[in-house]
Amino acid sequence: MKIEDLYIDGFGPFASKQVGPLTGSISVIHGVNEAGKSTLLAFIRMVLFGFPRQNSSTHYPPLAGGRHGGRLSLVDDAGHRYIVERFRGVRGGPVSIMTGDGAPVDQGNLSRLLGGASWDVFKNVFAFSLDELQA
């Protein structure tokens, strides 16, 4: 799976924010302190795995407006495009998966798109922060 681009409706300081296209085989997000790197990483994780409890330190309410959540555009190993969308809700928020042309896809396909990676594997192998790298 490769993330091609993302759209943040409302998450932390971001509202109506398009990021991408992300090109190349690996994407490194960098910037000055407080630029939003950790917020962007948390957004990707939450769209894929669900939102934490509201009292969590990784809650990131939409400070600039918008609906709390957004979507990722993904490409699987076979080159098929998908859109994974999640907004805050009960039990981490319901996930919606569609093909690139908008046809609904069963939620069970998210695990396939993630290559069966659990939250811990994704967090520690595929999308990690400097703090996690140093731990």
pLDDT in the model for residue 128? 63
The DSSP symbol for 113 reads H
Q: What is the largest CA-CA distance in the chain?
A: 41
**Residue 97: pLDDT over 90:** yes
**Residue 135: pLDDT over 70:** no
Share of the chain above pLDDT 70, in %: 90
- Give me the residue label for tokens 């971001």: 14
Q: DSSP string of 14-61?
A: EEEEEE----SS------STTSSHHHHHHHHHHHHH----TTSTT---
| pLDDT, tens digit (0-9, with 9 covering 90-100), for 46-91 | 999 998 877 766 789 999 999 999 999 999 999 999 999 999 988 8
Indicate the domain borders of the chain.
Answer: 2-134
**Residue 20: pLDDT over 90:** yes
Highest-confidence range of 22-31, 35-44, 60-69, by mean pLDDT? 60-69
CATH 3.40.50.300, domain 2-134, yes or no: yes
Q: What is the mean pLDDT of residues 105-122?
A: 85
Instruction: Answer with the residue of higher pLDDT: 127 or 95.
Output: 95
pTM of the model: 0.88
pLDDT in the model for residue 129? 62
Q: pLDDT grade, residue 117 (50/70/90)? A: confident
**Residue 127: pLDDT over 80:** no
- Phi, then psi, of 86 in degrees rounded to 5: -150, 140
- Phi, then psi, of 38 in degrees rounded to 5: -65, -35
